[in-house]
Amino acid sequence: MVRRLRRLGYLLAFIIILGLTCHLLGSPWLGRQFYPFYYQEEISAAAAEQQIDPFLIAAVIQTESGFREDAVSSEGARGLMQLLPSTAEWIATKTGESDFHPDKLFEPGYNITVGSWYLADLLRQFNGNEVIALAAYNGGRGHVQRWLEEGVWDGSEAGLAQIPFSETRTFVQRALKNYRSYRDLYGEEN
C-alpha cells in the first residue's frame, strides 16, 4: 500500500511538473527571459522618428551587444548598437550634430537614436529590404552594394550562404531570428 501511494505521489508530481513546464514553454514569460526588451521607451521613440519597426531595432541591439550599453567590439564599435566612432561621426555630420564625441556612444538614448538613424538610412538605400539592410549594417554598405551589383549575393534570406563575410552571414541570421522572436513575444497580440 505504501509503495502504491509513493508511486501515485511520484506520478502526480511528474504530471504537475510537466504541466507547469508546458505552460511556461507556451507562454511569452519564458521567451521574454531570453529576449529582454530593455530601453523600450528609447527604442519606441527612435522607431517612431525613423519610421521603422521597434522590434528590428531591438533585434539589432540583442544581436550586437545583448543590451550591454558598455559593450566594445574588437574593432572599436561601441554601445548597444555597436557603432564605430567613425560611422557615428559621419551620422552626426549628416544630421547636423555639432557636439559629437565618441564617448556619447555609451549613452543608451544617444546610441539608439544614432543607430536607428543609420538602420533607417540603410533601409531607405535598399528599398526597405531588411535582409540587405542588416547585412549592410554589419558588413558595410559599400561591400553589400558591390555584392549585389556583381551578383555575389542575390540579397535574399534564402541566399545568405552567398555572403562572403562569415561574420556578416552569422549576424544577419541571428538578427533575423531575434527579430522574429521580438515580434512574436512583444507584438500587440501578446
Q: Is the pLDDT of residue 130 over 50?
A: yes
DSSP secondary structure code for residue 78 in this structure:
B
**In this predicted model, what pLDDT tens digit does every residue of 149-182 receive, in sequence order?**
999 999 999 999 999 999 999 999 999 999 999 9
Give me the pLDDT at residue 22, please: 45
**64 catalytic per annotation:** yes
CA angle 106, 112, 113 (to 5 degrees): 110
Residues 64, 75, 89, 97: which is the catalytic one? 64
| Range 8-12 average pLDDT | 67
Q: Is the pLDDT of residue 18 over 50?
A: no
Average pLDDT, the chain: 92
The CA distances from residue 15 to 5, 8, 92, in Å, are 15, 10, 58
Contacts of 55 (CB under 8 A, 6+ apart): 179, 182, 183, 186, 187
Give me the pLDDT at residue 26, please: 64
**In this predicted model, what pLDDT tens digit does every residue of 46-101 receive, in sequence order?**
999 999 999 999 999 999 999 999 999 999 999 999 999 999 999 999 999 999 99
Give me the pLDDT at residue 61, please: 98
CA dihedral 118, 114, 180, 128 (to 10 degrees): -30
Please give the CATH number for the structural domain made up of 38-186.
Answer: 1.10.530.10
